Amino acid sequence: EVQLLESGGGLAQPGGSLRLSCAASGFTFTSQDMNWVRQGPGKGLEWVSSVDGTGAGTNYADSVMGRFTISRDNSRNTLYLQMSNLRAEDTALYYCTRNAGLDSWGPGTLVTVSS
Amino acid sequence: DVVMTQSPLSLPVTLGQPASISCRSSQSLVSSDGNTYLNWFQQRPGQSPRRLFYKVSIRDSGVPDRFSGSGSGTDFTLKISRVEAEDVGVYYCMQGTHWPRTFGQGTKVEIK
């Protein structure tokens, strides 16, 4: 069974940083692209970033380009999202999702950016 | 960026009646490999999204056959033949052909 479990969310100040993690299990992690998708309070879904199976190929939404960095550790079956220079509008539930088709989702980790 | 426009944004439906959600893209979603990467997701209240369809009409495992996906190019539709209480939630389309990936605004399905 595919399992994705995000962690690392919490309260951060504007301009601050957080690192999100997603522990993956139940599938061959190295063979799958991975993604982060977020959902602001009461809002719709927003794709944030994707990384290919090797970690070499990455893509970002314009709203996070230059501030967020996606990466993965295939030896630990873990996906990361390093978030810096955080803004109030980054407040959201952050989901880890599997492959280009987003076929599996974790429960999410909540990030709140506030002073 | 490809803009995904869903309609309606709110859909009150009587139990047992059909429902239909439209999703239109600002550009063709036909990829250079010939595939059309259009997905549909369901998000029930308080839950994570769940994928229902990929490549327009391929149903994911466990999705009831009262759900169907169709369309081509820039015009896509999700249909529920007979709405059940468990279908309440928000439905999103998402294109996976172009970067950045983009979602529709969501359509909230509720029971009348």
B86-97 tens-digit pLDDT: 999 999 999 999
With beta carbons under 8 A apart, name residues in chain A contacting B103. Answer: 44-47
Token digits of residue B88: 């309440």
Confidence of residue A71 (pLDDT cuts 50, 70, 90): very high
* Prior bond of B8 cis (ω within 30°): yes
Give per-residue pLDDT as tens, B67-112: 999 999 999 999 999 999 999 999 999 999 999 999 999 999 999 9
Q: Which residues contact A27 (CB under 8 A, 6 or more apart)?
A: A2, A98
Chain A residue with CA closest to B95: the answer is: A101
Instruction: Please state, in angstroms and rounded to a whole number, the distance separating the CA atoms of residues A51 and A69.
Output: 10
Closest CA to A95 of A1, A9, A2: A9
Chain B residue with CA closest to A102: the answer is: B51
> Helices (H) and strands (E) in chain B — how many of each?
0, 11
* Strands A92-98 vs A104-105: parallel, antiparallel or unpaired: antiparallel
Q: What is the DSSP letter of B30?
A: B
**pLDDT value of position B47:** 98
B49–A45 C-beta distance less than 8 A = yes
Closest CA to A34 of A19, A18, A22: A22
* Strands B38-43 vs B75-80: parallel, antiparallel or unpaired: unpaired
Chain B contacts in chain A segment 28-87 (CB below 8 A): 35, 37, 44-47, 50, 59-62
Mutate to test the interface with A, among B48, B90, B97, B102 (most CBs of A within 10 A): B48
Q: How far is B16 from chain A, CA to nearest CA, in Å?
A: 27
* Prior bond of B100 cis (ω within 30°): yes
Confidence of residue A65 (pLDDT cuts 50, 70, 90): very high
Closest CA to B43 of A80, A22, A45, A79: A45
Q: Which residues contact A103 (CB under 8 A, 6 or more apart)?
A: A97, B51, B54, B60
Give per-residue pLDDT as tens, A35-61: 999 999 999 999 999 999 999 999 999
B48–A105 C-beta distance less than 8 A = yes
Q: Find the CB nearest A47 among B54, B60, B102.
A: B102
Q: What stretch of H or E contains B108?
A: strand B107-111
**pLDDT value of position B8:** 98
